[in-house]
Amino acid sequence: MAIELGKSKSIVGRSPKDIAKYKFKGTGYIGKVLLSKGEKPVLGRKIFMDLSKPHLVLVCGKRGGGKSYTMAVMLEEFARLEPEIKNRISIITIDTVGIFWSLKFANKENEKELANWDLKPAETNVRVLVPKGKLDFYKEKGLPVSGAFTLKAAELDAVEWMALFKLTWKDPEGVLITRVVDEVKKKLGSYYGIDELIAAIKNDAESTKLVKQAMINRLKVAKTWGIIEKEGTRLSEIAKAGEITVIDVSAYRQAVGMEGTRDIIVALLGKKLFEERMLFRKEEEMKVLKGQKRESAMPIVWMLIDEAHMFMPKDSDNLALQVLLEWVRVGRQPGLSLLLATQRPNKLHPDAISQCDLFISHRMTSKPDIEAVAALRPSYLHQDFDHLYAEMPKSKGYALIIDDNTEKIWMVKIRPRFSWDAGVTASAFTK
């Protein structure tokens, strides 16, 4: 069904019923429709995206195709939502590369291109939070950090400690940490850190000296990560209403053996947000039943994850996988939206592809990846996927948008960013 709101603007991600009811309220301007192909593409109507209702959005495309750029455009639009809508949403971005801080700076270099779109460079207010133990790392690089966060040790169960250290139930260290976590929880409740675990291991009578030492060494390494502490940052500090929070985990990118740290951050954050939203959803429903406004102390949440195949792999396990699958399968009901960006849809868990309601794809050339998303092709799409990619202009920023909400498909050019792009490909040339 075609949705015509006059010829100049259209909305993706919003059902025809909601378009009639809310019009453009709570949407963001993301680009323009491509009208003609060839060397000098002609652009047509503006495309707006719904940002106010829960969605599962998948952003695909090969490396350098514009995925992170498109995410940045969306973050700029979240920041510019009408206050009464914005203040009901909390936006959290998991930044694995360390690029979204640059939203804070206006894109002066892009002034000309922005002017072609009748837009101007502008800064966007984002909060950049980094793991507490890595604060110096970011400060040395001169990155504009807004604050630090930690995870609460007591929130990690034995399975999570084991996963962090790649241990199994069969490993003697796995047996030891399971026993010790249990013991410490009984003795100290929810107020303990790595030091208390080490002390308990020293007192353990059942494991051998060697096993105990091996486990202590691992915990000492975990301490240097500077993320797991007695006292964790409160969820309400991280998921603030009306705020765009960038959780920068890029410090753990190069460090061997620390990938688990990045995963546990996403896993614990995802788990807590899910649990809290479930509770608050009940509170909201009660209010509606009593004839009051649908309101609770906790905002609905959008989580945007760049390089999502890292956390939701198809063929391997990951600490965050089960948590994110919950978001994918039932998150929309309690108001949890997820945007997943990946250059490897073929490596992404298939549920993330089949469940998405808004599919945004930049250029893709790898056959297995195209095939992986072709599996999502809804019945209203009577075109061949390869064909659609072949028609996409080669220059950056073009995307195919397949929208289940309106059952429409668009070829779009994503608008230029207001803010500076820190993701520009590194090059050996200095000029």
Task: Catalog residues that contact ligand ADP under the rule CB under 6 A.
Answer: 61, 63-69, 396-397, 414, 416, 421, 423-424
Cβ distance to ligand ADP smaller for residue 209 or 431: 431
70 within 8 A of 30, measured Cβ to Cβ: yes
User: Rule CB under 5 A: is residue 102 a binding residue for Mg ion?
Assistant: no
For residue 141, give the amino acid letter. Answer: K
Nearest-CB residue to Mg ion?
A: 68
Compute the least distance from the CB of residue 54 to ligand ADP, in Å. 24
Q: Which does 66 bind (CB under 5 to 8 A by kind): Mg ion, ligand ADP, none?
A: ligand ADP
Which parts of 204-349 fold into alpha helices (H)?
209-225, 235-238, 259-289, 321-330
Q: Name which of 10 and 96 has its Cβ closer to ligand ADP.
A: 96
CB nearer ligand ADP, residue 131 or residue 397: 397
Decide which of ligand ADP, Mg ion, none touches 204; Cβ closer than 5 to 8 Å per partner kind: none
Nearest-angstrom CA–CA distance, 245 and 243: 6
Q: Where are the beta strands (DSSP E) in 96-160?
A: 127-131, 147-149, 151-152
Q: Are 24 and 85 in contact (CB under 8 A)?
A: no
How far apart, in whole angstroms, are the C-alpha atoms of residue 225 and residue 261?
8
Nearer to ligand ADP, 203 or 427 (CB): 427
Look-up of token digits 């209010």? 287
160 with 147: CB under 8 angstroms? no
Retrieve residue 114's tokens.
Answer: 């922005």
Kindly tell me which of 44 and 64 has the beta carbon lying closer to ligand ADP: 64
Q: How far, in Å, CA of 274 to CA of 281, rounded?
A: 10
x/- string (CB under 5 A) for Mg ion, residues 53-92? Answer: --------------xx------------------------
Which of the 8 DSSP states describes residue 348?
A: B
CB of 244 to Mg ion, least distance (A): 18
Strand pairing class (27-36; 9-12) = unpaired
- Distance between CA atoms of 154 and 212, rounded to whole angstroms? 20
Considering beta carbons, is residue 5 or 422 the nearer one to Mg ion? Answer: 422
Residue 80 binds: one of ligand ADP, Mg ion, none (C-beta under 5 to 8 A by kind): none
Residue 64 binds: one of Mg ion, ligand ADP, none (C-beta under 5 to 8 A by kind): ligand ADP
Least distance between ligand ADP and beta carbon 263 (Å) = 20
Tell me whether residue 100 or residue 252 sits nearer to ligand ADP (CB atom): 100
CA torsion 28-32-33-35 (nearest 10°) is 170
> C-beta of 412: minimal distance to ligand ADP in Å?
9
**Could you tell me the smallest distance in angstroms from the CB atom of residue 64 to ligand ADP?**
5
Residue count of the chain: 431
Q: Which amino acid is at 295?
A: E
Q: Answer yes or no: are the C-beta atoms of 234 and 79 closer than 8 Å.
A: no
CB-based closest residue to ligand ADP: 397
The nearer residue to ligand ADP, 214 or 305, going by C-beta atoms, is 305
Minimum Å distance from CB 65 to ligand ADP?
4
Q: How far is the CB of 328 from Mg ion (least distance, A)?
A: 21
Asked whether the beta carbons of 418 and 76 are under 8 A apart, the reply is: yes
Distance CA 363, CA 367 (A): 12
The nearest distance, CB 61 to ligand ADP, in angstroms, is 5
Torsion sign across C-alpha atoms 403, 404, 407, 409? positive
Judged by beta carbon distances under 5 to 8 A according to partner kind, the member of Mg ion, ligand ADP, none in contact with residue 232 is none
Residue 60 beta carbon to ligand ADP: minimum distance, rounded to whole angstroms: 9
Q: Which is nearer to ligand ADP, 109 or 371 (CB)?
A: 109
Which residues of this chain interact with Mg ion, rule CB under 5 A? 67-68
